[in-house]
């Protein structure tokens, strides 16, 4: 194994998951690391400082959410959550607690690897010097507070700009409703999701080729939005 292979720590108590995820990650060019419980996972993160973590929320020894919170105290890399579909609230909470993305069980390996790549890229671009963020023909210049589409300046209101900038800075990361509302409107409006629907709608009208099938700002129903950057 070459030293350059990104290391992915999978924290899951189901041996069957490790059984296929290990070979899959290995085949996709990653170095898989395995932990079967929460404590073991936390030790693994601290010991190996993996490039990304895949964390199952249902662990035998401790709550996956607590693992996430404890991990975030010392670990900055991307954390992907594995969770069941019927635990919506749990997912949102996990995202608010610092998870980068989530996957619903059962999942295909292709999807997991795509999310993993996106999360690793975010990290890289977050480290990269600030420059215009692109998505298709849309360009957001954070220094000049300017949005252009196909070279022409798009007129956006200050709130629309704040929202768009916040989304774009996520670099494909899923941002929850609460996250966006608190950042743009303040903590007092943390539950006013209708604001988001209106402003996202306006932004899509201005930026998307087909606002009904958005390519730049994607919706995760009931959870939040993500900005798809190039």
Q: Are 50 and 4 in contact (CB under 8 A)?
A: no
Radius of gyration of the chain (CA): 18
How far, in Å, are 133, 134, 166, 183 from residue 142 at the CA level?
8, 11, 10, 16
When asked if residue 16 is in the footprint of another protein (CB under 8 A), the reply is: yes
How far, in Å, are 30, 37, 56 from residue 60 at the CA level?
26, 6, 10
When asked if residue 108 is in the footprint of another protein (CB under 8 A), the reply is: yes
Query: What are the phi and psi torsion angles at 135 (to 5°)?
Result: -150, 105
Q: Binder to another protein among 107, 114, 134, 201 (CB under 8 A)?
A: 107
Site for another protein in 38-77 (CB under 8 A): 58, 60
Stretch that binds another protein, among 15-23, 47-55, 142-150, 176-184 (CB under 8 A): 15-23
Minimum Å gap between C-beta 203 and another protein is 34
When asked if residue 20 is in the footprint of another protein (CB under 8 A), the reply is: yes
Stretch that binds another protein, among 108-116, 123-131, 132-140, 198-206 (CB under 8 A): 108-116
CA angle at residue 221 from 200 to 148, to 5 degrees? 25
Minimum Å gap between C-beta 207 and another protein is 33
DSSP-based three-state secondary structure for 10 = strand
Q: Binder to another protein among 105, 166, 189, 215 (CB under 8 A)?
A: 105
Nearer to another protein, 28 or 142 (CB): 28
CA distance 90 to 68: 12
How many residues form the binding site for another protein (CB under 8 A)?
21
Q: Which two tokens stand for residue 8?
A: 């992915």
Binding residues for another protein (CB under 8 A) = 13-14, 16-17, 19-21, 23-24, 27-28, 58, 60, 84, 86, 105-110
């Amino acid at each position: 194994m070459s030293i350059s292979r990104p290391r992915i720590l999978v924290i899951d108590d189901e041996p069957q998951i490790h059984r296929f995820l290990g070979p899959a990650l290995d085949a996709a060019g990653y170095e898989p690391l395995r932990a079967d419980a929460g404590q073991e996972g936390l030790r693994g993160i601290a010991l190996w400082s993996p490039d990304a973590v895949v964390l199952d929320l249902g662990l035998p020894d401790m709550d996956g959410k607590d693992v996430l919170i404890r991990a975030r105290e010392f670990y900055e890399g991307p954390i992907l959550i594995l969770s069941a579909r019927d635990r919506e609230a749990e997912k949102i909470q996990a995202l608010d607690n610092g998870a980068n993305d989530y996957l619903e069980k059962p999942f295909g390996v292709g999807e997991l690897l795509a999310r993993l790549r996106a999360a690793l890229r975010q990290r890289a671009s977050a480290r990269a010097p600030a420059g215009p963020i692109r998505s298709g023909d849309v360009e957001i210049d954070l220094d000049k507070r300017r949005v252009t589409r196909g070279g022409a300046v798009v007129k956006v209101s200050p709130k629309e700009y704040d929202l768009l900038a916040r989304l774009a800075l996520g670099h494909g990361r899923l941002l929850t409703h609460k996250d966006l509302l608190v950042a743009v409107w303040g903590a007092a409006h943390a539950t006013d999701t209708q604001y988001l629907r209106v402003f996202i709608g306006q932004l899509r009208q201005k930026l998307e080729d087909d606002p009904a099938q958005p390519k730049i700002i994607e919706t995760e129903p009931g959870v939040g939005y993500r900005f798809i950057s190039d």
